[in-house]
Structure 1
């Protein structure tokens, strides 16, 4: 199986923390939809595996597309690729786009999973992040989506916002758990360079984030959600049984995927490629019959590093018995040896009977740093 990701690079307004590629001008949407549909046709030879198990519309804000534009993209993909009968088709949505009519149209178009950018149920947080919706809109959108027949709803929440106390964070989680959702993605607020938030913090018009406070809220999250029946199957993702994101799981398992649209990434097991992050140049190139993408053929060491990075973020961690031929007994032994210092600190665990090396709950706080350390060990091997 493989996946397709479609990047819709348009938003109503810019959240101050966001560094994704998007435009707040919507005048190019019609041209962009036609260009993405054409790229879908041009990319049909990229994958060795023709069966598509997941289709994910991300962005940006895909829910800004009208139903005709969304149907055009879905229909083109269905015509050019073989979608599994039970394919997971996800649409990222803003709460204020979830009208009863839109929800009905999305379901009729084949969307069977919603990923809703709630971020917080507190208006003060939403205002601080420059979100376009209010808390009441988020509550209403979830209830209406459930009433419209969506039984696979995910929401995003952000923690570590300067004014978000532990009690307020608990209220956010409590509110989420009272709603008909099946999946939660919870992210620590990060200050990305060149974002509006970064500039505001530099000018001291906004408080900087507190790393220790973020770590505490993450620890609380790992306590509360399992108690409510949500399994932490990846560092930032929690799901009720049977509701893990199949699309995101495919990324973490190294399954090939095509990325359509400006700035979208693709991977076919041999190389990765990424499209230009410029709407006008993307459209112009596609209209001229060119896919404006850079390509990188992965070395064995790069493939191993990629597997380390994505596997360590999952509950299962690195399962050597399931890895490819790039991993010899020597690679496995040296990586386990390098992990001993993290095992001693209680941040990792090695299960020899399962050939499994994974982070402990405490270790998930340091997932990126531990992965970077293991990258250096792996890079020295050939």
Structure 2
């Protein structure tokens, strides 16, 4: 069954590394929520059936939604879709937005999973990333959420930050595992064009991320979380048993999903859709009764490449039989190219399913690219 993603494109301030679509001008927030609800209506027949396995509020900062705005969106979702108590309903939240009042509101609304943007428990690292919260708020946000019964938590960490060490990463990991966090997403700091971080590096204001440090920290991360009982089920995601993210797993398995809001992406029947990444233009098109998206239908080669990319990133791996179902030619092509990586130990094979080794995960993008049909 499919999922729905809702993009809330507002933030209090810009993190230095972020290149997602967002605005720090909240003047359009009410109007945009109305437009999201109208898009839900316009797109109500997009998915096969109306039962959902997941709803995901991402951004931006969805925790900036007030009670009325959140209620309005849920009202629209309930009008067109069905779900039950097992449906995963996630809301991304910044630590500085998490209070007793907000947690009670989220629980009442039906949110049963919080994704908290911790990133680090180091004051220096938080300052480097221009995060809006401090260390105390990072610590308190978890305790407040758990105290209010929101125990299905996932927390984000960022590694490879200039000035960080293996010791500081170990401390960050321990802060989460000691608090019983069941799911952790960890991302290497990357420098994206047109971000504050890219500008700061260009002007010599800060150091660039060190690739060697990031590799060392990633290997340490895999080992530490593995020792703590976490399954490394996707390149950047670690979960205790039974706590894999339902919504994101559906992405990686190629399931259908609907994305609403500016810049949101959708996928169904081998076709990708993406909404316009401009708040005012999005609102205008919705007001005119238009779905504000473009689309691209994937060729067989595109489908093969997509499967290689997502399969290699996950513990589910790449199944040769699924490749053969697309085209026998793809199967022979893949088997010919993958041989060198199995010989080098970067990839393992069992029952015709190929998975990256820990060492291979360091080069996941490069290996996938080498296996692409071009």
TM range (shorter): over 0.9
Q: CA deviation at 1:93?
A: 0.1
SS of the counterpart of 1:115? Answer: strand
8 Å Cα contact 1:258/1:267 also seen in 2: yes
Q: CA deviation at 1:329?
A: 3.2
**Which residues in structure 2 correspond to 1:53-72 (within 5 Å)?**
53-72=53-72
CA distance in 1, matches of 2:201, 2:367: 28
Q: CA deviation at 1:183?
A: 0.5
SS of the counterpart of 1:14? Answer: coil
Q: Match of 1:197?
A: 197
CA distance in 1, matches of 2:70, 2:208: 39
8 Å Cα contact 2:50/2:80 also seen in 1: no
Which 4+ residue blocks in structure 1 deviate beyond 4 angstroms?
Answer: none
8 Å Cα contact 2:304/2:330 also seen in 1: no
Q: Match of 2:28?
A: 28
Output one character per residue of 1:94-120: Cα deviation in whole Å (capped at 9) or x when no partner.
001011011011001000000000000
Q: 1:49 to 1:337 in 2, by over 3 A?
A: farther
8 Å Cα contact 2:104/2:148 also seen in 1: yes
State whether structure 2 residue 359 is matched by structure 1 residue 362.
yes
Q: CA deviation at 1:322?
A: 4.8
Output one character per residue of 1:150-203: Cα deviation in whole Å (capped at 9) or x when no partner.
121000000000110111111111111111311000000000011110111111
CA distance in 2, matches of 1:342, 1:49: 41
8 Å Cα contact 1:3/1:258 also seen in 2: yes
Q: CA deviation at 1:85?
A: 4.1
CA distance in 1, matches of 2:308, 2:27: 41
Q: For structure 1, which runs of at least 5 residues remain unmatched after alignment?
A: none
Q: Match of 1:333?
A: 332
Q: Match of 2:257?
A: 257
- TM-score, with normalisation over the residues of structure 2? 0.98
Q: Match of 2:301?
A: 301
CA distance in 1, matches of 2:9, 2:337: 41
- TM-score, with normalisation over the residues of structure 1? 0.96
Q: Match of 2:188?
A: 188
CA distance in 2, matches of 1:374, 1:330: 13
Q: Match of 1:342?
A: 341
Output one character per residue of 1:59-106: Cα deviation in whole Å (capped at 9) or x when no partner.
000000001111111121111112244110000000010110110110
Q: CA deviation at 1:323?
A: 5.7
In angstroms, what is the RMSD of aligned CA positions? Answer: 1.2
State whether structure 2 residue 148 is matched by structure 1 residue 148.
yes
Q: Match of 1:318?
A: 318
8 Å Cα contact 1:112/1:150 also seen in 2: yes
8 Å Cα contact 1:143/1:180 also seen in 2: no
**Which residues in structure 2 correspond to 1:1-382 (within 5 Å)?**
1-322=1-322, 325-326=325-326, 328-351=327-350, 354-375=351-372, 378-379=373-374
SS of the counterpart of 2:26? Answer: coil
Greater Cα shift, 176-185 or 92-101: 176-185
CA distance in 1, matches of 2:175, 2:115: 17
SS of the counterpart of 2:86? Answer: strand
SS of the counterpart of 2:92? Answer: strand
